[in-house]
Amino acid sequence: MSKKNLSRKKLSIGVLISGSGTNLQALLDASEKKSYPAKVSVVISNKADAFGLKRAEKKNIPTHVIPHEDFTSRQDFEERLIQTLDKFGVELVVLAGFMRVLSSYFIKKYSGRILNIHPALLPAFPGTDAIRKAWDYGVRLTGVTVHFVDEGTDTGPIILQKEVFVHPQESLDVFSKKIHKVEHQLLPKAIRLYAEGKLSIQGRKVLIKEVSPSTSQTSACKGRQKR
C-alpha cells in the first residue's frame, strides 16, 4: 500500500451479528493492523447472548443489542439499526452471521454498501444452514462467497468466491472448520478491496481493479467512491 493510502482515514464498518462472531473476530484482528484500510466502529446484535458481543468488548469496540422481538414492525427494528449505524458514522454494513432478513427499506438506505458472507458457492445452497446442506447433498466442491446484498436472499452481486473441496468421508465438523477457515480470509480481503475503492459494478458483474480477467474471482457490485 502506498504512503498516500496509509494516511487515508479508515473506512468505518458496522458489523451485524447474531451468534458466535468468528468472522467478526477475523475483521477485528485484521483492522488492528495499521495498513488495513477499515475499522470496526460498532457491533450490533439482535441476540443478547451472541458471543460475538464479548469478542468486540474485549477489543473495546462499542456494542449494541437490538432485539428484533422488542419491535412491533420490521421497519421500526430497522430504523433503530439505522439510527445506531448513523451514530457511529458507518460507511459499510457487514452482515457476519446476522440471522434476520433485511427489508427493502434498509437495503435501499445502504444501497451498494452492505456485504454478506455466505458459506457456499452461490447461487448453490442459498439461505440458512448452507454448510450442512452442501455436506448432506454430497457435493465434492463448495466454498465461500462474499457478495453485495440486494433485496433477494443471497442473490446480490458476487465480489469474491473461494472453493473448498469436500472429501467423501470427512465429518461435518471437519468440513465446517475448513469452510470457516476460508471465510476468515475471504471477508477481510473483500472489505479491503471495497475500502480501497477497487470495486465497481457493471450490471451483475463486480469488477476488481488491478486484477486481470483471467485471475479474477469476481462477479458483481457498487464500490466505495475514491476519497
**Which residues have a catalytic role annotated?**
118
User: Least separation, in Å, of the C-beta of 71 and ligand GRF?
Assistant: 22
Looking at 3-11, 20-28, 156-164, 165-173, which segment touches ligand GRF (CB under 6 A)? 20-28
Q: Per CB under 6 A, does 223 bind ligand GRF?
A: no
Q: Per CB under 6 A, does 14 bind ligand GRF?
A: no
DSSP per-residue letters across 130-146:
HHHHHHHHT-SEEEEEE
Q: Per CB under 6 A, does 117 bind ligand GRF?
A: yes
Q: Per CB under 6 A, does 118 bind ligand GRF?
A: yes
What is the rounded CA–CA span in Å between residue 201 and residue 3? 27
Rounding to the nearest 10 degrees, give the CA dihedral for residues 161, 43, 16, 181.
30
What is the rounded CA–CA span in Å between residue 136 and residue 140? 11
Residue 183 and residue 26 in contact, taking contact as beta carbons nearer than 8 Å: yes
Q: Per CB under 6 A, does 19 bind ligand GRF?
A: yes
What is the rounded CA–CA span in Å between residue 184 and residue 30? 10
Q: Per CB under 6 A, does 22 bind ligand GRF?
A: yes
Looking at 59-67, 113-121, 158-166, 189-197, which segment touches ligand GRF (CB under 6 A)? 113-121
Tally the residues of the chain: 227
Q: How many CA atoms lie within 13 A of 39 on its CB side?
A: 15
Q: Per CB under 6 A, does 154 bind ligand GRF?
A: no
User: Least separation, in Å, of the C-beta of 3 and ligand GRF?
Assistant: 33
CA distances to 19, 82, 156 from 151, rounded to whole Å, are 23, 17, 8
Q: Per CB under 6 A, does 188 bind ligand GRF?
A: no
Which residues in 45-74 contact ligand GRF (CB under 6 A)? Answer: 52
Instruction: Kindly tell me which residue out of 13, 56, 96, 193 binds ligand GRF, with binding defined by CB under 6 A.
Output: 96
Given the rule CB under 6 A, which residues bind ligand GRF?
Answer: 17, 19-24, 52, 96-97, 117-119, 183
